[in-house]
Amino acid sequence: MREPFFSDKKILVIDQSEKKQNDRTWCFWEKQTGLFEPVVHHRWERIHFFSDEFSSALHLAPYQYKMIRGIDFYSYVKTESAKHPNIEWRTEKIKAITNNHNKAIVETETAIFTSEYVFNSILFKEISGAKKAKYLLLQHFKGFSIQTKEPCFDDSIATFMDFRISQQYGTAFMYVLPTSSTTALIEYTLFTEKLLQKEAYETVLREYISSGLSVPDYEIVHEEFGVIPMTNKRFPLQDGRIVYMGVAGGQVKASSGYAFQFIQKRTEQIIQSMLTKGNPFTRRSFADRKCQLYDSVLLNVLSKNKMKGDKIFTRIFQHNPPERILQFLDNESSLYNDMQIMRSVPSNIFLPAAFYELIRSI
């Protein structure tokens, strides 16, 4: 059904990078077989949650937690798109994207392109939404992919959050994502206002691997570092003929930093809009606005240090089944389920924050 509609359109993909580096690893959960199933590198049906007050191994059904390596994703998308002669890739740096009457204009270092629409995932300006009572925390993380000599891991279970590490800088936890008995990605993640010194991430990671995981002998085969904005700043979905996508389109879940599935959902919405209305313009639904409010409440509590992140997530995991939590984090839960999640956190802290954010959002 989509083929005839899009095959008559000339699609130009411009990226300054050839996307040949394995620059990130995506993890996300989904119930069904997804669009990127052929490049899922590993999947888990169980996860560990650890904190000082509560620890558990949780069955995710009907969800699976999946991992896709950036390099596999880029190769797959390029191979698939090469099957469509109307899609062309150019490696160029874009200087500006603007509107001119009913056209979008893309200016690169060597050329100017005019198009019916531009789908933009470049964040040209730094996010500075922390002013005027908007919140901006950074989710920053450093990951080591390690190879051990002896079998050390159970690759049927991932560690979703291990809060049993120092919380001195702010909310901090470890992911442990084993892909075999001798390989795992271990990621040190923080939600704070400022980044740490480079060495600080590595010191904590090394200490956790040797003491927390009791892995004495290993080789680091790959490293990754990332910073994701956690903000309740409102990003425009579109401006004239420019349609924003990805981080630039506000597709990062402000309270979790997860973005991969939100980006896929937004892309699907845009395609549906093209097919049904003939244009890519979408609006925020009531559910989107409701979940933005929830995110603002959590950012309010974390930014103003009203309750520590490890304590909040511990309460949520202690009192709710994983399916409910994942639905909630996916912005897909019912009001009833939302209430159940809210009942697990202290109302004397969260209710005033919710009231404040509700008034501010009107």
Ligand X SMILES: Cc1cc2nc3c(=O)[nH]c(=O)nc-3n(C[C@H](O)[C@H](O)[C@H](O)COP(=O)(O)OP(=O)(O)OC[C@H]3O[C@@H](n4cnc5c(N)ncnc54)[C@H](O)[C@@H]3O)c2cc1C
Is 193:137 a contact under the CB 8 Å cutoff? yes
User: Does the protein bind ligand X through residue 223 (CB under 6 A)?
Assistant: no
User: Does the protein bind ligand X through residue 15 (CB under 6 A)?
Assistant: yes
Is 240:283 a contact under the CB 8 Å cutoff? no
Encoded tokens for 108: 């690169």
User: Does the protein bind ligand X through residue 224 (CB under 6 A)?
Assistant: yes
DSSP 177-230: EESSSSEEEEEEEEEESSPPPHHHHHHHHHHIIIIIS---SEEEEEEEEEEEEE
User: Does the protein bind ligand X through residue 34 (CB under 6 A)?
Assistant: no
Of residues 246, 285, 238, 294, the one with CA closest to residue 266: 246
User: Does the protein bind ligand X through residue 263 (CB under 6 A)?
Assistant: yes
Least separation in angstroms between residue 106's CB and ligand X is 9
Interface segment toward ligand X; rule CB under 6 A; list 21-29, 39-47, 96-104, 144-152 = 21-29
Least separation in angstroms between residue 212's CB and ligand X is 21
Q: What character string, x for contact with ligand X (CB under 6 A) and - otherwise, covers 56-95?
A: -------------------------------------xx-
Least separation in angstroms between residue 198's CB and ligand X is 15
- Restricting to residues 147-186, name those near ligand X by CB under 6 A: none
Q: Is 324 helix (H, G, I), strand (E, B) or coil?
A: helix
Residues whose CB falls within 8 Å of the CB of residue 72, separated by 6 or more in sequence, listed in order: 39, 41
Quote the CA–CA distance of 234 and 129 in Å, as a whole number. Answer: 9
User: Does the protein bind ligand X through residue 119 (CB under 6 A)?
Assistant: no
The DSSP output letter for 196 is: P
Interface segment toward ligand X; rule CB under 6 A; list 16-24, 157-165, 197-205, 285-293 = 16-24
Q: Which of 185, 259, 299, 316 binds ligand X (CB under 6 A)?
A: 259
**CA 90 to chain CA centroid, nearest Å:** 26
Chain residues binding ligand X by CB under 6 A are 14-17, 24, 26-28, 93-94, 121-122, 224, 226, 228, 246-248, 258-260, 263
